[in-house]
Amino acid sequence: MIYIILSICCSVTVAILLKLAKRYQISIIQAVTVNYLAALTLCFLFFKPEIKLVIHSAPWPIYIALAVLLPSIFLFLAASVKNLGIVKTDIAQRLSLFIPILAAYFIFKEDFNDYKIIGLAIGFVAIILTFLRKSDQKEGKGNLLYPIMVFVGFGVIDVLFKQIALYKELPYTTSLFTVFCLSFIVSLLIVITMVISGKIKLQLVNVVCGLILGLFNFGNILFYMKAHKALAENPSTVFAAMNLGVIIVGTLIGVIAFKEKLSKLNYAGIVLAIAAVIFITLSQNAVR
């Protein structure tokens, strides 16, 4: 369980860092770029990817799609944390698991049991309640675009990563390293374009923040993979503990540390989100 706890801590820490970015005037795109440089370096050191295999046999369309989506969704994640807070952003990210589940049904023709159907129904209600807001709040409705993009983006990314995991020609860790490399290149091109156009200036503080972000981002992945390896016979335990842990810890930090305002309906949505994850986890056990 120590790996699950460490993975939860790393995941929530990424959200906290993005929340603090506004306070310290961090350039998110610069930090994200350095984040991928740090992540691919750590990936190379820890996983020893078989780079030669990538040249001859690799699902390049999936790699390229992920290389574009990952930096883009990181920016939406940062915008969502900035405008709506850690609590709602974490819920949107965790409930994005519905997209790969729906993909499994409609694309991969997987059978659904009662638990999964109930989980999806509860999750749909949870999404609505979590993001309901009072009409007198200052933030505009347009800000809801950010968590929606987080929800959709992470869901699509999850589907693509699952396809990579099923690809037998390459080790998963080699694919992960390749995706990080391509994501770094895409992010770097965006930064260069913005610097040339005068929209941003390169600053050392963004490099430092990016290195810290990359460390925790990679830590989240590393400990999550180690948890699955340590609990190979109980993957649903890892799945449930990780998702529930992030929702609960993220909520506590958002409300206590950052004084994020939530209505009673929002709290009801959080409870239903936890219930949805539990039912989906039960559905995995039922299949087994």
pLDDT at 4 over 60: yes
Q: How confident is the model at residue 137 (pLDDT cuts 50, 70, 90)?
A: very low
Burial 111-127 (b: 16+ CB within 10 A, else e): eeeebbebbbebbeebb
**pLDDT above 70: percentage of residues in the chain:** 94
pLDDT at 245 over 80: yes
Of residues 199 and 133, more confidence is placed in 199
pLDDT at 11 over 90: yes
What local confidence, expressed as pLDDT, does residue 113 receive?
84
pTM of the model: 0.85
pLDDT at 108 over 60: yes
Q: Cβ(262)–Cβ(85) under 8 Å?
A: no
What local confidence, expressed as pLDDT, does residue 138 receive?
47
Mean pLDDT to the nearest integer, 131-151: 71
